[in-house]
Chain A
Amino acid sequence: MKKEEVPQDKDNLHEGTFKQIMYAVDNSGNYVQVQSAGWEPENIALDQAWEEVNKRIEAAKQKVLAGEVSPIAYYMEKNIMDLALLANYVGKFQWQVKRHMKPAVFRRLSQHMLQKYADAFKVSIADLQHIK
């Protein structure tokens, strides 16, 4: 890649505010560092990854509102966590976290356990119990 070819496609989620370093060759063939504001394929791939995250959040939200799952499922998606990571944060087994996603079980959780989830998601217990 030549110095002049270093892409500057600002059409990304951070609108080109974040400039990363690329290595490219100058006219005499020597490598130099050049800042890049973004590149089309990277922008597309990153957009798409977020679209997937948002889709999962919305799907989880609808399920919570329909009373099929507890808000834990929604907040897990919102924090881009998976079951393994969330279980790690609250110090439980994955099957236990899965159980806590059942609305009936969630309603009976102790304050202590609710606090652990609230901490993992960085929300208050009130917000944990009633999603916005």
Chain B
Amino acid sequence: MTPALRWAALVAALLAYPFVDRALGLQTVHAVSDGMIYVLLALGLNIVVGYAGLLDLGYAAFFAIGAYAMGLLNSPVLGSPLYGYPWSFWVCIWIAAAVSALLGTAIGAPTLRVRGDYLAIITLGFGEIIPVAIRNLGDITLDIGGWRPIERLNLTGGENGVNPIGRPHLPGVPFETDPVPWYFLILVIGALSIWAMTRLHDSRLGRAWMAIREDETAADCTGVNPISTKLLAFALGASFSGFAGSVYAAKLQAITPGAFEFQVSIMLLCMVVLGGAGSIKGVILGGMLITIFDRVALAQMTFFVRWVGRATGVQALAAADVTLWRWFFFGLGLVLVMLLKPEGLAGRRVRPIAPADDDLDSPRIEEAPRRAAALPAWLLDQARRGAAPDPILEVRGLARRFGGVVALADVDLVVPRGAVIGLIGPNGAGKTTFFNVVTGLIPPDEGRIAFAGASIVGLRPNAIVARGIARTFQSIRLFPQMTVLENVLVGEHCRLRASVPGAVLRPASVVAEEARARERARELLAFIGLDGKAQDLARNLPYGDQRRLEIARALASEPRLLLLDEPTAGMNPRETENLTTLIGSLRRELELAILLIEHDMEVVMGISDRITVLDYGVRIAEGTPAEIQRHSKVIEAYLGTGYEREPHA
């Protein structure tokens, strides 16, 4: 069967199902629709857990908020100002999603700064507070020494819940009595959600989420704003939950605070983890498996075990109730999946982007020299468009202490336009700390950092990347589970503009932008000599390729200053030579300023215009390579042996 035919079969099966069910008198449409609501919820959770890698243990809270938004607007409880003025389902469903997203943002904004496991606990705490609040807000009495400004105020219906909740009205569609319209309503919402999620996943935003999941610091230093990106995932996940919650409330017609407790969050997490976090198909599979297990398998197992018990005369089995073991099985499922198949039943660790129209394996590219001399034209264009100010980077009196340890003290460093500046010094001299301060990872204690004439002190790393400083890391920090191409595309993140509606609806401008981004990434890979490996996972590359990929990723952000942290470390002489040539051509053709930490003295002395030497956080020398080689303090710092003795380490 062709893919189109298979899709047609799937769609036909989904469309025909309720009528088949009716013809056979199975009456399963209600159960299936309810199961689909939970799958929809799990898909929303997947954005948070699977895409962005944030463990959310209180997801049911957003479900509750969606459901209560629907309930309280659509069927206001007495005492609410809306009483007697119910709003239409079709309006409420959007409000519910918006309210959930808003609360997701409100909860997320302060909490997303904290580390992953702390975030999990915060969401869990939030998930505990919401049902308590809903329960208690049904009966509020404020008693201040006998004075009661508020007495028995009912906002949420308390433990009674909201009941009954009005159903949607569409002329001629019997939502009141028939489950089939519900099935189709949920099917449509589900299909739209999956469509939107798939498009988000394959967009600039999807790549940013994955980058954050893989390595938050590296993503930050590649131009992805971790806070807003995570917040977006949180808000989007919450809004899907809001949709699901409002449909659930309207379908059930009754909601109580007890329906949104911790167990619901865990069951949804089970669905995501079991199927495979990050994979839509996996989550759907996980959701179906758990629903079947819960609704059918457990009950059938009880019958079976009892039948075995009666047949064999084992009293314990004959009276057994497997349904009592439900949570044991869920827990066991979580443990086993994490231990044996952490990527989930349907998850594939490799998730390459579908190849775009131009053929990767075309002989033209195959025959191209390993190290293409041609710099991508667009980079050249960027470089020619307006000369960079001079100096490009000016650092004055920079100081940074860690507790009692002085990492940097009163360091001055100037990078003129188009210059290659070497930064050397023994281990622990503060070179990498200097990079970290300049790129915004560590705030300075004192000093000024001016980039292109403007201070960048206090900016977040991603904002600094956007200004035009890109960097590589001493210990390579690629996004190991993403493809080579995707790594470079993340580098372009801060130069792309597609927003959520753009990523989902894909207007012509976004399609063009994405095509251009891919084209640029391909050219960069060709330039760096990684063409043909675009679809490999970054972690599968050989060491030297990984170093070069990191440079390509940095270049993709269109920097005006490139910070390279020991780019030749671990490379063989041939690779080192290639890299030296590459740096040379960047500087020559792009007039790109480069600040270089390097231990290979031959490299540093060969390509640097000027060199700054740090020792114990203090600048002990500055000058041309020739001056540095003769500098007494430098020789002293390197144990009085000079660079000829190759101070590797």
Question: Do A and B come together as binding partners?
Answer: no
